């Protein structure tokens, strides 16, 4: 049956069954694969025949996971990684060389910022930040050696959005690779490739797993670019383990159900906090008060599971609020079934200087909440009691 819906694709896409006729795909915990003949081994290494050689290159479990992600994102090919940051780094390392330039959205994850500002310059790769709120300036920031545009939308943790259709046209106009970190939205809520993205990156550790169990990352996109990424990865070794791939593939079967609940809970919490007396600012893409509310409605089917707010009282109040939580977990991870709360200024973005944090709107009182699947009334009550206790 062609054109299956995403809910069906995530459940019914499976690796071929073995002679044991198993219903659920088994684990292929093997470092290598045997050859039926010396000729088959030669043909596999010569790329004349498709097949598994070594789990650093490919494995039935990772292949199934990649196939599902390609179907969900509408991509031609992909490669899976041991972590989300391994995917981000490989997206740069495989496709860029000394002298190349990256144009990036200013609001990116802290580790992505460190790659752009401290790691890549060691190899002669430079970058410039562009402000998501000033799209009219982006084209003027493109240089003759600009090879890639790298963005997050929604961004971490400020939930800034970038118009993917507009940016896709800009990238094509200048023949630049457009790479989109789609971690916060997941392919269930947003598919950047339909708007012109060449590559889509996920930290599968987050919503793809959804239960805080394993690390993983994935890049999907144009076949020619993935070919370069596969070559780079085959010889540098950031491959995803078969066990984690099996976990992530099984997790995709419940992605639509989980995201529906994450989104409904997050919207309810955002609506509760919007205009709250203890709030300086509340951000959620599907709140009418969000500065890019109309864009969110255009390119996202729902608002995602992250709510960000700035609590009155700054750094000290934020710390007291965190310590007063009784249900929500204090952790840097997100996308879990359990509600998790992070203080970016002292945690995920602590390596940025105060000026760098200020430039991307990470204030001392900013809190990022990854809204879980618990009963929404319990979540709201926990946030309320923590606000009262920290006042």
Which one, of 326, 346, 323, 338, lies nearest residue 369 by Cα? 338
Which one, of 48, 125, 384, 32, lies nearest residue 117 by Cα? 125
User: Is the domain of 354 the same as that of 272?
Assistant: yes
In a domain, residue 91? The reply is: yes
Residue finishing a domain among 251, 280, 301: 251
In a domain, residue 314? The reply is: yes
In a domain, residue 1? The reply is: no
Question: Alpha carbon of 164 to those of 123, 192, 329: distances in Å?
Answer: 29, 7, 33
DSSP class of 123: G
**The domain that contains 376 carries what CATH number?**
3.90.1150.10
Report residue 92 as tokens.
């740069």
Query: Who's near 157: CB < 8 A, 6+ residues apart?
Result: 306, 308, 342, 344, 348, 349, 362, 366, 368
Question: Alpha carbon of 116 to those of 2, 122, 149, 331: distances in Å?
Answer: 41, 10, 12, 25
In a domain, residue 352? The reply is: yes
In a domain, residue 353? The reply is: yes
Among residues of the chain, what percentage have pLDDT more than 70?
Answer: 99
Of the CA atoms within 13 Å of residue 365, those in its CB half-sphere come to 15
User: Is the domain of 58 the same as that of 191?
Assistant: yes
User: Is the domain of 310 the same as that of 206?
Assistant: no
81 three-state secondary structure: strand
Range of the domain at 293: 255-390
User: Is the domain of 217 the same as that of 291?
Assistant: no
User: Is the domain of 46 the same as that of 153?
Assistant: yes
User: Is the domain of 117 the same as that of 222?
Assistant: yes
Residue finishing a domain among 232, 251, 270: 251
The structure's pTM equals 0.94
User: Is the domain of 56 the same as that of 109?
Assistant: yes
In a domain, residue 238? The reply is: yes
In a domain, residue 220? The reply is: yes
Number of other residues whose CB lies within 10 A of the CB of residue 364: 20
199 three-state secondary structure: strand
Question: Angle, to 10 degrees, between the axis of helix 314-324 and the axis of helix 376-390?
Answer: 130
Q: How many domains does the chain have?
A: 2
**The domain that contains 79 carries what CATH number?**
3.40.640.10
User: Is the domain of 278 the same as that of 263?
Assistant: yes
Question: Alpha carbon of 371 to those of 12, 318, 347: distances in Å?
Answer: 28, 17, 18
pLDDT for the residue numbered 173? 98
In a domain, residue 342? The reply is: yes
Residue finishing a domain among 230, 251, 272: 251
Q: What is the 3-state composition of the chain as percent helix, strand, coil, each rounded to the nearest 5?
A: 40, 15, 45
Q: 42 pairs with which residues across the strands?
A: none
Report residue 344 as tokens.
């970016």
User: Is the domain of 101 the same as that of 210?
Assistant: yes
User: Is the domain of 201 the same as that of 293?
Assistant: no
Give average pLDDT by consecutive 10-residue segment, the chain, 391 residues: 73 77 89 96 94 93 96 97 98 98 93 95 97 93 98 94 98 98 98 98 98 97 98 97 97 96 98 95 97 97 97 94 96 95 85 77 91 98 97 90
User: Is the domain of 56 the same as that of 119?
Assistant: yes
pLDDT for the residue numbered 359? 73
Which one, of 180, 201, 365, 385, lies nearest residue 282 by Cα? 365
User: Is the domain of 313 the same as that of 241?
Assistant: no
């Amino acid at each position: 049956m062609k054109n299956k819906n995403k809910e069906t694709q995530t459940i019914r896409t499976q690796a071929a069954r073995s002679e044991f006729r198993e219903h659920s795909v088994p684990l292929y915990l093997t470092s290598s694969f045997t050859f039926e003949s010396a000729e088959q081994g030669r043909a596999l290494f010569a790329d004349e025949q498709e097949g598994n050689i070594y789990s650093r290159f490919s494995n039935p479990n990772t292949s199934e996971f990649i196939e599902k992600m390609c179907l969900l994102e509408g991509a031609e090919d992909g490669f899976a990684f041991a972590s989300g940051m391994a995917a981000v780094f490989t997206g740069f390392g495989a496709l860029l060389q000394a002298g190349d330039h990256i144009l990036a959205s200013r609001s990116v994850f802290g580790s992505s910022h460190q790659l752009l500002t401290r790691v890549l310059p060691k190899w002669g790769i430079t970058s410039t930040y562009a402000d998501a709120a000033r799209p009219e300036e982006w084209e003027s920031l493109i240089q003759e050696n600009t090879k890639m545009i790298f963005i997050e939308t929604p961004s971490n943790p400020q939930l800034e959005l970038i118009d993917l259709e507009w940016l896709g046209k800009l990238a094509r106009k200048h023949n630049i690779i457009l790479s989109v970190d789609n971690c916060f939205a997941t392919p269930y809520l947003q598919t950047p490739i339909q708007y012109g993205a060449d590559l889509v990156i996920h930290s599968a550790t987050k919503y793809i797993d959804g239960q805080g169990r394993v690390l993983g990352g994935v890049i999907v996109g144009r076949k020619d670019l993935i070919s370069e990424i596969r070559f780079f990865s085959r010889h540098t070794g950031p491959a995803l383990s078969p066990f984690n791939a099996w976990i992530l593939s099984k997790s995709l079967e419940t992605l639509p159900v989980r995201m529906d609940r994450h989104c409904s809970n997050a919207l309810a919490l955002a609506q509760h906090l919007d205009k709250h007396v203890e709030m300086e600012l509340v951000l959620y893409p599907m709140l009418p008060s969000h500065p890019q509310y109309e864009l969110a409605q255009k390119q996202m089917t729902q608002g995602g599971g992250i709510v960000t707010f700035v609590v009155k009282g700054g750094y000290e109040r934020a710390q007291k609020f965190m310590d007063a939580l009784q249900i929500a977990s204090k952790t840097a991870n997100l996308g879990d079934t359990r509600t998790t709360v992070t203080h970016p200024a002292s945690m995920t973005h602590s390596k940025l200087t105060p000026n760098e944090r200020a430039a991307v709107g990470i204030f001392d009182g900013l809190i990022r909440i990854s809204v879980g699947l618990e009963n929404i009334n319990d979540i709201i009550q926990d946030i309320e009691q923590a606000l009262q206790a920290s006042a």
